[in-house]
Amino acid sequence: MPAIEILGLEKTYHVGFWRKQAKRALHPLQLTVAEGEIFGFLGPNGAGKTTTIKMLMGLVFPSGGTARVLGGSISDPAVRAQVGFLPEQPYFYDYLTARELLEYYGQLSGIPGQERRQKVKAMLERVGLGEAGNVQLRKFSKGMLQRVGIAQAILHDPKIVIFDEPMSGLDPMGRREVRDLIEQLKQEGKTVFFSTHILSDAEALCDRVAILHQGQLRGVGAVAELTANVQGKIELIWSGTTAPAALKAISAELHVSGDTVRAVLAEDRQESALDILKQSGLRLISLTPVRSSLEDYFVSQVGPDKISAGAGS
Amino acid sequence: MNRRVLHIARNTFREAVRDRVLYNLIAFALLMSGAAILVGQISIDIERLVVINLGLTAVSLFGVVIAIFIGIGLVSKEIDRRTLYTILTRPVRRWEFITGKFFGLAGTLLVNTLCMAVGVFAALLYVSHRFQRADGWVLVALYFIVLQFLIITALALLFSAFSTPLMSAVFAFALFVVGCFSEDLRGFAAMAHGAEKWLATAAAYVIPNFSALNVITSVAHGQPVSGQLVLYNTIYALIYVLMALSGAVLIFERRNLK
């Protein structure tokens, strides 16, 4: 049984004063997440990732389609008890201490008293907040709040964990810790579904990824499968301080440093480039194939303009 | 009571206490002690009347302000701050959340009113030097005031389920003011004709009848309150609260939490 099945889920918002203008946030989406896998949900800001996650969690109602979590509906409290959720940029009751907040969430998740107290204590230690358990959340930094958010999402030992932008706003150490935690969750047999626009994190962690852009699914699969289809690139380095005009016309990138020039160009232009260098009498130093990364695939599906917009957020 | 409703109610009460809502009791205590001392010096034989009138009116006004201004934020604040996301994605149903919020604020208002009631009786004892049998009716007036709070809290929650905090405050406060004059509205309906009569009668039934829940003046004059009125008012308030809460739940069940 798949952990998550998204069957034609779609969302259209009606905007404007009379709500007559339809704005499609998500086109019908088909997606399956297997049990025990780490699944990355990628896309630039405004792609529809959060809308999809909110529909999956029952916070927003779909305009069409349906979703099944562990074979059931998310509207069933018994199914929700098996799911942990971290919203994007979480905000919690800041008049509570971290311990009180986790106690409260434990109560709502139906964890019995003695077990709950033990779990809260262990969870605070696990996310590195053992010392700050009795401090009110209004005194917490953004990184500490993110840790509390992760703690509340996994406190009740759910089978599926859904994180919306878990690395957002974290420093490099914080991001590393979240990555380690996601890997630990996988080792514990949990399914992790997380959205992000930080591609390196997704590439390092995910068994499979899906790329969403403007509410439409642009690709889904293992990172290696996706990048295998991206047109390869080569890197040429030669001696000199200038590049022939003909080579400039076919190169994607050109960099001059000291007495060498580096050009990156599409694999299918390799023969032409070598001919140009030969005709110009330039001495080739190296020719190296460039490995396609998830970022290359992402760019090919989404476009560089959207990436720069997403990276700035 | 459902355990999840109880946990949400307890947390709502805790939020009110930590947000220093009960600090209004200090203002009330100052008002009552000042009034008792002043009345004791300038009034002859009407100290009881003045203290009961002033005390119960203050209890009512302080409570109404709390009920409206906290009630309107019970749902909208949770949506704005997105604290709701981590609640409703647990095994918590939306009606449990609304009901828990209602009981939490109702509990806050009850504790607040009990503390104020102690203040009113202390001021009464100060000016009269002893309690009278008729002072017992003050408890009935306080009970009716609590029923008013429950209705206003349910209405504030209802408005909060679909409107902005500002508009919810305006709606709730307007309904409270109009509701205080609902007997006049019924009188107008009785005298009107045609469409006016129909409209006035409909409005008189829809708007909460706070006039019937206000026995402050008669209690201040030592007049008893009939058991029938207590029963009718209790049933009326419970039905009104149930309907307003049902409306809030129906709206909230369909609301997208963007």
- The pLDDT averaged over each successive group of 10 residues in chain B (258 residues) is 93 92 84 80 79 91 92 88 94 96 96 93 88 90 96 94 90 93 88 90 91 93 94 97 97 92
Residue B258 lies in a domain: no
Interface test with A, best of B13, B89, B94 (most A CBs within 10 A): B89
> Chain A residue with minimal CA distance to B5?
A108
Both tokens assigned to B56:
């119960």
Domain ranges of chain A: 4-222, 233-291
Which of A57, A93, A104 is opposite residue B7, by nearest beta carbon? A104
Instruction: Tally helices (H) and strands (E) across chain B.
Output: 12, 0
ipTM of the complex: 0.88
Residue B235 lies in a domain: yes
Widest CA span in chain B:
63
Number of structural domains in chain B: 1
Q: Which domain holds residue B82?
A: 3-253
Domain A4-222 has CATH 3.30.470.10: no
Q: Is the pLDDT of residue A170 over 90?
A: no
What mean pLDDT, rounded, does chain A reach?
89
Work out the minimum CA distance from A76 to partner chain B, whole angstroms: 8
pLDDT higher at A59 or B48: A59
Contact A59 B88 (CB under 8 A): yes
**Ramachandran region of residue A46, left (φ > 0), alpha (ψ -120 to 50) or beta?**
left
Contact B254 A61 (CB under 8 A): yes
Contact B90 A109 (CB under 8 A): yes
pLDDT in tens, A248-274: 888 767 888 888 898 888 888 888 888
- Banded model confidence at residue A311, pLDDT cuts 50, 70, 90: very low
Interface test with A, best of B85, B88, B254, B257 (most A CBs within 10 A): B85
Both tokens assigned to A260:
């060498």
Q: Is the pLDDT of residue A158 over 70?
A: yes
Contact B83 A92 (CB under 8 A): yes
Both tokens assigned to B146:
């609590």
Model pLDDT, residue A15: 84
Model pLDDT, residue A312: 35
Contact A91 B19 (CB under 8 A): no
Q: For domain A233-291, which CATH number applies: 3.40.50, 1.10.287, 3.30.70, 2.60.40? A: 3.30.70
CA A85 to each of CA A126, B102, B215: distance values in angstroms, whole numbers, following the listed order: 17, 26, 51
In chain B, residues with a C-beta closer than 8 Å to the C-beta of A80 are: 89-91
Distance CA A240, CA A162 (A): 53
Model pLDDT, residue B40: 67
Model pLDDT, residue A308: 44
Contact B89 A80 (CB under 8 A): yes
Q: Count of CB atoms within 10 A of residue B113's CB?
A: 21
Work out the minimum CA distance from A36 to partner chain B, whole angstroms: 21
Model pLDDT, residue A310: 41
Model pLDDT, residue B25: 84
Q: Count of CB atoms within 10 A of residue B240's CB?
A: 17
pLDDT in tens, A212-235: 999 999 999 998 888 776 777 888
Interface A-B, measured as beta-carbon pairs within 8 A, has a size of 72
> Chain B residue with minimal CA distance to A25?
B258
Residue B112 lies in a domain: yes
